[in-house]
Amino acid sequence: MTKLNQILAVEKGVKSNTQREITDAYHTLQKSALLSGLSRTYQPIDDEGEQLPAESTRVQVKADEVLRQAASTLTRLFDVTATKEWANTSAKADVKVDGETLLRDVPVTYLLFLEKQLVDLHTLVSKLPVLDPSETWTLDPSTDAYRAEPVKTTRTKKVPRNHVKAEATEKHPAQVEVYYEDIVVGNWTKVTFSGAMPAARVRELTERVTKLQDAVKFAREEANGAEVVDQSTGEVVFRYLFG
């Protein structure tokens, strides 16, 4: 008994072979010289006239034979595809993760869809932004974002100061040098917020997607192991078309 995975294994080859042969048939039928034949004989007017050899060209390609060959090639493709599609309607399997059945009796076509979607989802999840590990983060209910510990910094202001280098005398004024001193005039309190995720959460989500990917692949292999009934649709179609 043929199994669906066996049909899938030969389908690609049958498709490429059919495409090549039908393309060749199309190009062959465009070469009018191959479909043309000729027979020409010469008869002199009297017996003493010059005798010339006959000329002939055989027909190398017959359109009906090309059609018959095309029909034969396409019949194989039609039958393989029909067998696969009929089988796909009944090929099903459960998706199980860690012994738990997530989805029951999933058609193989939907499993293929899931498999493709999970590849894209894995890319998305694995690239999620991660919180800066150098900070301590807590979830802030008021903003629904992560909040780092407050960081305090001071604000300073330059204030001029006088430095007396020499006291005043009866003959000379005092020698004074002006310099500036940084004086703390206030404090900044900075709180950083982030919409990124903890690294542990990103790892957990990535692992879950990976597990589901493996489960879907396993289910697809199981579904593709279902036995199929060989379908014969091509003969009926081409008997009508070219019969």
- pLDDT at res. 137: 95
Is the sign of the CA dihedral 140, 146, 149, 151 positive or negative? negative
25 in any annotated domain: yes
Residue 176: pLDDT band (50, 70, 90) is confident
For the chain, the domain total comes to 2
210 in any annotated domain: no
Residue 1 scores a pLDDT above 80: no
- 3 with 84, same domain? yes
Residue 92 scores a pLDDT above 90: yes
- What percentage of the chain has pLDDT greater than the value 90? 74
CA nearest neighbour of 212 among 101, 124, 108: 101
- pLDDT at res. 237: 94
- 84 with 2, same domain? yes
- Per the confidence metrics, is the pTM higher than 0.85? no
Cα–Cα dist 221/44, whole Å? 79
3-state helix, strand, coil in the chain (%, to 5): 45, 25, 30
115 in any annotated domain: no
74 in any annotated domain: yes
State which residues form the domain around 151.
137-194
- 83 with 15, same domain? yes
When pLDDT is averaged across residues 214-218 and rounded to a whole number, the result is 97
